[in-house]
Amino acid sequence: MSIYQFLKFEPILKEKIWGGEKLTSLLHKKSGLKNIGESWEISGVKEAISVVANKKLKGSLLNRLIAKYKSTLLGDKVFKQFGNDFPLLIKFLDAKKALSIQVHPNDDLAKKRHQSFGKNEMWYVLQADKDANLIIGFKKNASVKEFVSNLESNMLLSRLNTEKIKKGDAYYIPTGTIHAIGAGTLIAEIQQTSDITYRIYDWERQNLDETFRELHTEEAKDAIDYLAKDSYKAVYSEKENSTSEIITCPYFTTSILPINGEVEVNHQEKDSFVIYMCVLGNVTFQYEDQIEKLRLGETLLVPACMKEFKIIAKEKSKLLEVYIK
């Protein structure tokens, strides 16, 4: 049994203490919520399973589609590895205020403690206010003892690497990397299916009820990679009407696809579903007599069995293309 439909899903919007208005004002998400920090575009997280928003399969749950269509939806290799679990969590994030300084556990630690996947992730910057930045990694190699000492003496921030960002910047954040998204940042996030975060420092801010969010310093100690890296920023090029890899890792591959006109897409060599996130302009997907439009801030899942189709843009547009090698 095969599934020949482009799949769009209802965004799952989440209010956050650090969220803002860009998901509604710039990406046109419809909601009466305030301080929306995240739009979960495609999710297999048990408490937040995505629901199809379009055409014949409207109202269907992602996990039930996987159980029914199996490898024709996910790809043979992906289904063999993950079964009925969707392996990626796709989001847009609006950080009006800085997120907490945090770290995510690797697969082994996450499985041991939470029966979950780890959380390797990447960020693509859609928009950044003047002087927006990210905190990512240590300036120089550290140790558990130094980390605890710096945290207790309020010196941790001075030991962390800060990078100014701009539209189009991309970063890979492997598990164990201490990090925080800075204020004034709108990003696309691609990650493993996991919602496990160890919060280390939260800027001393309070909730509306004057309580503080829980910190996970003890859990973070043996989850952190204390080695400094030369750079986490991806170096990539762009070629109109052609895909160029931004980041590839064992968990996902993300490419950029600038489009102006018509592109014939052929995924015969891929044994995976393919996800497209529109990060500029708007495009039309065409498969035989099936048409699906995608505009800035929208996301589309193409089942693994749909190998050849067209993407058409009447203005300069850009897509992120995500799949598993």
Per the annotation, the verdict on 205 as an active-site residue is no
CATH 3.40.190.10 fits 244-323, yes or no: no
The end-to-end CA distance of the chain, in Å, is: 23
Which is it for strands 133-138 and 88-95: parallel, antiparallel or unpaired? unpaired
**Predicted TM-score (pTM) of this structure:** 0.95
CA angle, corner 180, sides to 176 and 181, nearest 5? 135
How far are the Cα atoms of 102, 144, 178, 185, 256 from residue 149, in angstroms, in the given order?
Answer: 17, 9, 16, 30, 42
**Where are the domains positioned within the chain?**
12-221, 244-323
Q: How many CA atoms lie less than 13 Å away from 237 in the CB half-sphere?
A: 3
In total, the chain counts a number of residues equal to: 325
Write the pLDDT tens digit of every residue in 195-222: 899 999 999 888 767 788 889 999 999 9
pLDDT in tens, 254-283: 999 999 999 999 999 999 999 999 999 999
Task: Please write the tens of the pLDDT for every residue from 104-122.
Answer: 999 899 999 998 889 999 9
Q: Could you give the 3-state DSSP secondary structure of residue 228?
A: coil
Query: Per-residue pLDDT averaged across 138-150, rounded?
Result: 95
Q: List the catalytic residue out of 64, 113, 159, 199.
A: 199
The CATH superfamily assigned to 12-221 is: Jelly Rolls (2.60.120.10)
